[in-house]
Chains A and B, each alone.
Chain A
Amino acid sequence: MIVKQPDTITTRSRLGRGGPPSDRPWLWAAVAAAVLALVLGLQRPVAAAPVQAEDFRGTTIVLPQPAQRIVCLIESALSGLYMLGLKDRIVGVPASVYKESLRPYYEALDDRIRSRTLPAPGNWDFINMESIAALKPDLVVLWAHQTEAVEVLERRGFPVFGVFLQRFDDVHREIRALGRLAGVEEKAQTLIGLAMEERQWVRDRVRSSPGANAPSVYFMWAQGDLETSGGTSTVNELIEEAGGRNVFGHLTQEHLVVHWESLLKADPDVIVMWVNETRDPSHVLVDPRWRSVRAVRKGRVHELPDIFTSDLWTLKYPLAVLTVASWLHPDAFVDMDLTARKMSFLEKLYGSSAVARVAARAIAN
């Protein structure tokens, strides 16, 4: 200051009247205020506009600003949040991500899960209200049918986004709404576009398959050989998107237990099994009850590889569609590296190659 003072004086005397603002203290003050405002402006974002979206209960969720602290207790929705690039805004996850079948994927997505430091205040069936309150979320994502928990949380002032998925379009709707509530709507649209593009690619491949007709498909849930899905289900959509026909598509139930006799009479061309810990295609192929079924006679019994990559309730659903389509219409995918395609798709969705690397083994199967 002392050293610079003469310079300042010199400059002042050189420039004389009409010179720089040094002659006018009020101008200096204004410039300083402007600079200060600019600096402060860089540090603090401009007050964000409120965001809103309708959830699956038909309730409009209004947030004063895009969600910054999200507790998500639905694994599929959580996957969507990671795809949306909201990792740093997730403060609570469902306990199921710490299960053996899912943990490696989420460890690849989030170091806090690897170090077990990301709280899991509940799951699809149980919620620890105290833990949620301690996380101070500005958005909680729950199943829409968890009505009691939803009510309690809303009474305590936590905005709740209720989810209910029945069709692939519902997944799009969910991602779009979450994107809106987190202020990343554009990213959501990009992801949805990616999934739709992949879905269309599979559709086109199946259509281009020589002599493609729709093989009849029986989908077997892990709960039992007779547990399947009717026409109003994501499973039905999976089969149809893959170029097949659900043998129980005429039944309206989302989930049902069919008669053995009806199943034998339906005589499906292909059996698709959901990820199953206790049974695999080899069991079905040697089970005497199944022996008259065409799919068994021809050895066309397949099991989806794992829960994460076969998820029908996230934007990953085209992976399952592609897998099933390749079983139903093998000719349409001859000489194609489906593994590489699936890996690339997964990488694009999550914006990370780490997940794809974890998934590599399941995808290759």
Chain B
Amino acid sequence: MPLRIRQILVFGLPGPLLVVSLFLGPADSIRALEVMQWFGAGLGVADGPENAELVGAIVWDIRIPRIVLTFLVGGSLAASGASLQAVFRNPLVSPYILGLSSGAALGAALAMATARLPVYPSAFFFGMFAVGCSYVLGRVGKTVSSVSLVLSGVIVSGIFTALLTLVQFLTDPFKLQTIVHWTMGNLHNADWKKLRDSWPFLMAGFVGLFLLRWRMNVLALGDQEAWAVGVHPEREKILILIPASLSASASVAAAGVIGMVGLVVPHMVRMMLGPDHRLGIPACFAFGGGFLVLVDDLSRVLTAFELPIGIFTTLVGGPFFIYLLRRSRLGWEA
């Protein structure tokens, strides 16, 4: 398939998908025809449905904020994952490699257990704090090697996971259940407020990555090569880590820990469009957003009750990732 067509598919598909998603919902909810009538009435070209108030409440208050937030979260995780894979020159890196998910989960758990902190800022702050700890601990002298950073990320992640477990252990069953549900991904709680709170951070992270995307190509070559072309690799790594962590942290704070998207989508995009991050970062954002919206559509339509989105992304993304591994077309051989 020509590259141009593939580009159109990656960038163009999310649009129609978002529109179609507006018409999808649980079987016991409203029908697609009623949604169409509601939009028709809004545009003044048709009569509204009989249950216009209900349809309006569902489409406007529930579906639109959820779909938009899902798209932004999916896009941010994918763009963040792609940039970190470039920084660490490691195809198995995800946005959570520096302890971000366990830090955010601890923040959220503390907020839920004590009921004295707001969940979103707490998750965001602790997520960023964990990344900061990983960076400081991984720094040897004035340099931060990828290996030491990944190792410190593993240690920090372990510590925050232990603290999370401690909070879970000490909390009562009701709160424990809330914490566990949160860590599995919770897009079902999306609303306009959450969207308003999240989108500035999500977009700021993405814009930062977008502006730095060409530097990722240089870093992906290795530190020596970066020096050779006049790029300071350590400085560039920090510059990229900040927006990558910002967008991933905002994603986790808004929707809980959603696995696989930040790991699998960059590989999918690389398969389709090649390893160039100038195209890859915006493509990851568009495709990652679309991917998560699609998975969320499945979770909304298939069951009469909410299943945490993190379960679906892992069930869908995991086998696909294994398929990609077996095909060995991950774009790292190039």
Contact = CB atoms under 8 A, between A and B. Distances in A.
Interface of A: 96, 99, 124-126, 221-227, 251, 253, 256-262, 264-265, 267, 277-278, 288-289, 291-292
12 contacts: A99-B172, A224-B181, A227-B181, A260-B62, A260-B188, A261-B58, A262-B26, A262-B28, A264-B62, A265-B28, A267-B54, A288-B61
A259 B57 contact: no
Interface in B3-17: none
A289 B191 contact: yes
Contacts of A278: 115
Given A223-B174, A223-B181, A278-B115, A257 B26 contact: no
Interface in B56-89: 56-58, 61-63
Contact of A259 (B26, B173, B174, B177): B26
B29 interface: yes
Interface of A is mostly: loop
B188 A223 contact: no
Contacts of B169: 125-126
Given A259-B304, A262-B28, A292-B53, 17 more contacts: A124-B173, A125-B173, A223-B181, A224-B189, A251-B304, A253-B305, A257-B181, A257-B305, A259-B188, A261-B30, A261-B63, A262-B305, A264-B58, A264-B62, A277-B115, A288-B191, A292-B61
A262 B181 contact: no
Interface residues of B, number: 30
Nearest to B301: A259
A221 to B, nearest CB: 7
A242 to B, nearest CB: 22
B317 interface: no
Given A253-B305, A277-B115, A261 B29 contact: yes
B29 A223 contact: no
Contacts of A258: 304-306
A251 B303 CA distance: 11
Contacts of B174: 221-223
A264 B26 contact: no
Contacts of A289: 57, 61-62, 191
Interface of B: 25-26, 28-30, 53-54, 56-58, 61-63, 115, 169, 172-175, 177-178, 181, 188-189, 191-192, 300, 304-306
Contacts of A261: 25-26, 29-30, 58, 62-63, 300
Contacts of B178: 222-224
A262 B29 contact: yes
Given A223-B178, A259-B300, A264 B54 contact: yes
Given A125-B173, A224-B189, A265 B305 contact: no
B181 A265 contact: no
A126 B172 CA distance: 12
B304 A265 contact: no
B72 to A, nearest CB: 19
A256 B174 CA distance: 13
B305 A259 contact: yes
Nearest to A287: B191
A330 B326 CA distance: 66
A297 to B, nearest CB: 10
A289 B57 CA distance: 7
A264 B305 contact: no
A90 B218 CA distance: 71
A167 to B, nearest CB: 19
A223 B172 CA distance: 11
Nearest to A124: B173
A348 B183 CA distance: 44
A225 B191 CA distance: 12
Contacts of A221: 174
Leading 5 A-B pairs by shortest Cβ distance: A261-B29, A292-B57, A257-B306, A223-B178, A256-B305
B191 A226 contact: no
B191 A259 contact: no
Contact of B192 (A224, A259, A267, A288): A288
B23 to A, nearest CB: 12
A53 B57 CA distance: 54
Q: Select the residue from A223, A224, A227, A253 with max chain B CB neighbours within 10 A.
A: A223
